[in-house]
Structure 1
Amino acid sequence: MSYDYPLPNPQDYDVSLKTGFLPEDLPLAELPEYFKPWEKIAKVIPALLLTHRVRSAIDKQVPLLSTANLKTEAEYRRAYSVLGFLAHAYIWGVSEPTNKLPESIAKPWIEVSDHLRLPPIGTYAGLCLWNYQPIFGDLHELLENGHENISDPSEFLDNIQTITTYTGSLDESWFYLVSVYFEYIVD
C-alpha cells in the first residue's frame, strides 16, 4: 500500500533550501542601543562567572526592558540567545545554583521565546545557529554564493567566531562553531 502525501515546504519550518537550519542572513552581533544593558553583561559573562559576580551584576545593571522594541526576526533571535546566556549564567554562575530568575531576565525571555515558538532554555538555536559572526567581511559573500561554490569548506569555519560564550575559551567556541559548519557545509 502506498500513500501519496505532499512533502512539506521546508520554509514553513524556517528551514532554508540554501543554508538549512541556519538563517540565510548572518546573525546579529548586537541588539539596538535600547538593549545595551543585556549586551553589556553578555560581553563580559566569562569575567563575571570567573569572579562569581554574574548575579549581582545582572541584579544591579539589567532593568526590565520591553520586547516591543524588538522589530525583526534577527533581533528576536539575538535577544533569545543573549537572554539564554544571561539566564543560565545567573542560575549556575555562582557556587549555589538558584531556581529563580529576576523579572528583568525572565519576563522578556518568555516573551521572546513565545514569539519564536521555542522554550526558554539554552537551545541549539540560541547557542549555535544564532551565535556566530564573520571574522572577515567576506563570509556574507560565501553565504550568498552557496556552499557548493566554496572550494575549501574550511574557508567557512576559519572565518567564523562566536558572539557570546560562558568561558571565553576556544574549546567552547569550537564546540558551537563546528555545529554551524556542519549545518551549512554538509548536504
Structure 2
Amino acid sequence: MGVFMQGFLPKKLPAKSYSTQSESCSRIEEICNNLPKLLLTGQVQKTIKKLSVNDLSIDDLLVNQVSKDLKLAMSHLSFIAHAYIWGDKSPNEKLPKVIAAPWVKTAKNQGRPPILSYASYCLDNWFLLNPDEPISLENVGLINNYLSGVDEDWFVTIHV
C-alpha cells in the first residue's frame, strides 16, 4: 500500500459487501453484521460452534482474486475470530478450524498475519454515508464493529 492524496487509505472505497456471491460469503457477512447482538447476548461461540468446517470457506474469493473482496474477508474474519476469542467471560484459548482455516488463507493471500490489524480495523473498514460528499468525520461510517456504540465508531473513524 502506497501513500496517496488520502494518506494511507485505499485509492478506492472499501467494499461493504462481496461482489463474489456464495453461501459462505453471505454467512461470513451475516455473522459479522450480527456481532454486536451476538456479543451482547453471549452467542458468538454458540453460533460458530454450530457451523461445519467449510461454512466460512473463502475458496471462491481466492479463485476470483477480487482485491476488495479479499480485504473485506480479512476484516470480517478478523472481527469474527477476535469476537470468538474475547467474547466470553474468559478468553477462549483455541480458535475452531471453521474460522482459523479461512482466516489464515486470507491472511496469507494478503501478505499479513492473521490478526485484527490496523488495516482491517480502520483503513479497509469504512464507507461514505453520502458517496457524493468528500471524506469527513460527518460522512464516514464503519463497515464492521463490535458493539456499534458511538464511542467505538468515533475511536476508529477519527483515523479515516
* TM-score w.r.t. length of structure 2: 0.89
Q: 1-side partners of 2:3 and 2:12: how far apart? A: 10
Alpha-carbon distance, 1:117 to partner: 1.1
Aligned-residue sequence identity (percent) comes to: 37
**Code of the aligned partner of 1:45:** L
- Root mean square deviation of aligned Cα: 1.5
Instruction: State the number of aligned residues.
Output: 153
Distance 1:132-1:62 versus aligned 2 partners, 3 A rule: farther
Equivalent positions of 1:38-187 (< 5 A) are 38-61=28-51, 63-64=53-54, 65-70=56-61, 71-139=65-133, 142=134, 156-180=136-160
- Structure 1 segments (4+ residues) deviating >3 Å: none
Alpha-carbon distance, 1:59 to partner: 1.9
Distance 1:77-1:62 versus aligned 2 partners, 3 A rule: farther
Stretches of structure 1 lacking an aligned partner (at least 5 in a row): 1-13, 143-154, 181-187
- Who wins on radius of gyration, i.e. which is larger? 1
Alpha-carbon distance, 1:93 to partner: 0.4
Stretches of structure 2 lacking an aligned partner (at least 5 in a row): none
Contact kept? 1:37, 1:63, Cα under 8 Å:
no
Q: 1-side partners of 2:31 and 2:157: how far apart? A: 22
Q: 1-side partners of 2:96 and 2:148: how far apart? A: 24
Partner of 2:13: 26
**Code of the aligned partner of 1:33:** Q
Q: 1-side partners of 2:28 and 2:52: how far apart? A: 7
* TM-score w.r.t. length of structure 1: 0.77
Of residues 66-75 and 158-167 in structure 1, the stretch that sits farther from structure 2 once superposed is 66-75
